[in-house]
Structure 1
Amino acid sequence: MTDENKKTQVGIIIVSHADYGSAMLRTAEFILGPQSDCSSISVDVAHEVSETVRRLTDAAQRLDKGAGVIILTDMFGGTPTNLALSLLTTHKVEVVTGVNLPMLLKVFSTREKPLEELAQLAGEAGAKGIVVAGNMLRNKARAKNDG
């Protein structure tokens, strides 16, 4: 990747309860290799809310190379999401909730897209990654038997 491409790629922050985000980041890097301009921030009782907001703000400033930052959180309505939403008015960020591995892999592989488009792609990939596998296989077997 050229230096010019790096300047236009979106920064990535995963904000989650406990160590969920850091484990997802390690897993994505296991699959894709080392990634730049990304970070995970855990929300837990060991850190004051103000300290977590400061770390989140610092990460957003550090990771925004001009294209903005996508913040992926574990669930809508949770503290990680609420803290991330506080940056919407002060930083160039998009917040997408319900982070899962398909979503994170999509974000890493398409982070040169504009921030708003990347957020949309992240949401779509996350939703598509949720499959009730048993039902899907039974439906395929039924269709095969009926056809």
Structure 2
Amino acid sequence: MEVEIRRARHAAYLRLAAAHAGPLGPALLGHPELAPLYSQAYAACRGAKELPCAGVGGEPRACVVRRLEHLAYSALRGGKRRREQEKAMVEGLLLCLGHLAQEFPPEFAPILEATRRVLEKDLQYLKGLSPDGPLPAS
């Protein structure tokens, strides 16, 4: 059972990383019409107050994707300490998404919402509140 959960988490995070990685990514979540807006949306952000990027900004197409990829590969490994680190990273990504919701064009709300749902579901698992619930596919 644990191996299946790890694989499901890995696949969900890789899918999210791909959805944020380039102009064709939103199509993975059912929004191919957003491809022309990708460059504008992911160009830069000022950084969220609660995160280390505050004030210096970041590049969501790099930092969000890298964090999602990191979670994907971390999910394949075990260990209580690793899950605690993942929990902190997921909480940081949720803060980031809240900030990006204010920075991105409103058309990107469905992409950010789909990402938020997956992160919140995984956070429940990491907190031990959803012991058998692998992540949803989208």
Regarding TM over 0.5, the answer is: no
TM-score, normalised by the number of residues in structure 1:
0.25
Scaled by the length of structure 2, the TM-score of the pair is 0.26
Considering Cα pairs closer than 8 Å and 6+ residues apart, tell me whether 1 or 2 has the greater RCO: 2
User: By percentage of residues, which structure has more helix?
Assistant: 2
